[in-house]
């Protein structure tokens, strides 16, 4: 339940009561909104940055970020084309990032997502955290912090009363309006935009710079990059790719689909996620289809929880004919990969051990 996405694809859930219901589509939606004049000027600003990448006066984080990504192909034409392509994306970036600057390191931090909370602790900023969401339960110290509500419905008053120097948010579960609201109250915000494993190192470095933890962030990023490149080198050849299914919840059957950190991890491990071609990130999957696809390995997330084996029994019984079940390749794993944070490496290694 830490990640809002889990429930998103349950079409029946119509009421956005809790973080669970925060729609992933909101991100796409916000990108295409160019309502106010202010938004438009920031878009123009970003656009200028692309045209003149080394413009000395540019202080937009979004631009810097973009330039970093693009250093290999600093080609004017490509920049122009990409500018149009990323036109909408940039609105969001610049909107979110203009208020964040590295000028002075914040002393009082509020984290509005479990994943950023974990990163902040990993960067050694745990002492500076003054508030977290009620879903932030890792590491254990996070549970001691003041709670400011959920991810999709944080309490503005709770945030204000904690007098933060900066509020760390994510595009993956926090409402964009809340960020706008905070900025209108002159509260600094930092928006963590990574949603894939490969985006994580850069995003962590960026966050470290803004929050005054450059050195730890560089180390953490390097660690993640090292893990990624190690796996990239050890990938088995495509011909003997194992078929894998990662089950998030067995009844009804919810699995990790495309665009999730789990899907990225499976890809890095050189195995095929059979739900990788589904239409949404956490689809409710057809049991029949699992039988047909017959995965070689099945992972069941949050398997350390007491009742998970109990709950999975019925499903595994139905899947009796699948190689994974026949050969005993069903693994109950932790939830390390559920959050795009420092535990990702541990999560990947966990899967790797199982796959060997």
Partner 1 sequence: MPKIKIALLIALLFSVCILALFLGPRGINPLDLSDIDRTIVFSIRLPRVLISLLMGMALGASGAVLQGILRNPLADPYILGISSGASLFAAFGIIMGFSFIGTFTIPALAFTGAILTGVIVGIIGRKKGGIWPERLLLAGVGLSFLFSALLMLMLSLSSDEGLRRSVLWIFGDLSLSEWSRIPYGSVFILAGLLLAMTRAKALNALILGDELAHSLGFSPHTERLVLFVSVGLMTAASVSLGGMIGFIGLLVPHIIRFFMGADSKVLIPAAALGGGVLLCVADLISRSVLPPMELPAGIVTAIIGSPYFLYLLRRKNVLSI
Could you tell me which of 138, 144, 97, 96 has the C-alpha nearest to residue 121? 138
Per CB under 8 A, the list member of 180, 280, 334, 354 interacting with partner 1 is 280
Q: How far is the CB of 301 from partner 1 (least distance, A)?
A: 11
- Nearer to partner 1 by Cβ, of 100 and 151: the residue is 151
- Would you count residue 17 as binding partner 1 (CB under 8 A)? yes
Per CB under 8 A, the list member of 84, 85, 251, 346 interacting with partner 1 is 251
Token pair 């239409």 is at which residue? 279
Residue 129 burial (CB < 10 Å; 0-12/13-18/19+)? buried
CB atoms within 10 A of CB 45: 17
| Element containing residue 132 per DSSP (H, E) | strand 129-132
Could you tell me which of 268, 245, 249, 242 has the C-alpha nearest to residue 257? 245
End-to-end CA distance of the chain: give it in Å, rounded: 29
* 230: CB partners within 8 A, 6+ apart: none
Sign of the alpha-carbon torsion through 19, 20, 25, 28: positive
Q: Would you state the structure tokens that stand for residue 90, as one six-digit string?
A: 């940039």
Q: How far is the CB of 19 from partner 1 (least distance, A)?
A: 9
With contacts defined by CB under 8 A, name the span among 56-64, 259-267, 275-283, 341-349 that binds partner 1.
275-283
Q: What is the DSSP letter of 175?
A: -
- Would you count residue 309 as binding partner 1 (CB under 8 A)? no
- Would you count residue 6 as binding partner 1 (CB under 8 A)? yes
Site string for partner 1, 117-136 (x = CB under 8 A): -----------------xx-
- Would you count residue 310 as binding partner 1 (CB under 8 A)? yes
- Would you count residue 101 as binding partner 1 (CB under 8 A)? no
Binding-site size for partner 1 (CB under 8 A) equals 46
Q: What is the DSSP letter of 130?
A: E
- Would you count residue 246 as binding partner 1 (CB under 8 A)? no
Per CB under 8 A, the list member of 72, 77, 140, 321 interacting with partner 1 is 321
With contacts defined by CB under 8 A, name the span among 36-44, 65-73, 159-167, 280-288 that binds partner 1.
280-288
- 89-113 in b/e form (b: 16+ CB < 10 A) is bbbbbbbbbbbbeeeebbeebbbbb
Per CB under 8 A, the list member of 22, 93, 246, 249 interacting with partner 1 is 249
For partner 1, the binding residues (CB under 8 A) are 1, 6-7, 9-13, 17-18, 20, 134-135, 249, 251-254, 275, 277-280, 283-294, 302, 305-307, 310-311, 313-314, 318, 320-321
């Amino acid at each position: 339940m830490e990640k809002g996405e889990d429930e998103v694809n349950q079409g029946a859930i119509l009421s956005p009561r809790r973080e669970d219901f925060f729609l992933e589509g909101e991100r796409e939606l916000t990108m295409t909104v160019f309502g106010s004049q202010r938004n438009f000027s920031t878009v123009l600003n970003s656009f200028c940055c692309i045209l003149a990448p080394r413009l000395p006066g540019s202080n937009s984080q979004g631009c810097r970020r973009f330039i970093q990504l693009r250093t290999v192909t600093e080609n004017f034409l490509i920049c122009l084309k990409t500018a149009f392509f990323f036109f909408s994306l940039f609105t969001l970036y610049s909107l979110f990032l203009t208020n964040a600057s590295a000028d002075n390191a914040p002393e009082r931090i509020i984290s509005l997502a479990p994943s950023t909370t974990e990163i902040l602790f990993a960067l050694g900023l745990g002492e500076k955290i003054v508030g977290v969401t009620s879903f932030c339960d890792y590491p254990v110290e996070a549970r001691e912090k003041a709670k400011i509500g959920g991810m999709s419905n944080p309490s503005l008053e709770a945030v204000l009363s904690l007098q933060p120097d900066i509020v760390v948010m994510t595009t993956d579960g926090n409402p964009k309006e809340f960020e706008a609201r905070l900025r209108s109250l002159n509260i600094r915000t930092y928006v963590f935009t990574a949603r894939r494993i490969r985006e994580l190192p850069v995003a962590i470095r960026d966050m470290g710079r803004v929050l005054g933890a450059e050195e730890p962030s560089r180390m953490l990023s390097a660690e993640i990059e090292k893990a990624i490149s190690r796996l990239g080198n050890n990938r088995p050849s495509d011909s003997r790719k194992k078929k894998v299914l990662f089950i998030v919840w067995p009844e009804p059957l919810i699995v990790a689909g495309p665009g999730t950190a789990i899907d990225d991890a499976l890809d890095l491990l050189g195995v095929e996620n059979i739900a990788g071609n589904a239409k949404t990130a956490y689809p409710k999957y057809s049991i029949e289809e699992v039988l047909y696809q017959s995965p070689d390995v099945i992972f069941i997330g949050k398997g350390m929880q007491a009742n998970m084996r109990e709950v999975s029994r019925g499903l595994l019984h139905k899947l009796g004919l699948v190689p994974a079940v026949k050969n005993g390749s069903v693994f109950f794993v932790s939830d390390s990969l559920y959050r795009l944070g420092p535990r990702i490496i541990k999560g990947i290694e966990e899967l790797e051990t199982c796959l060997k």
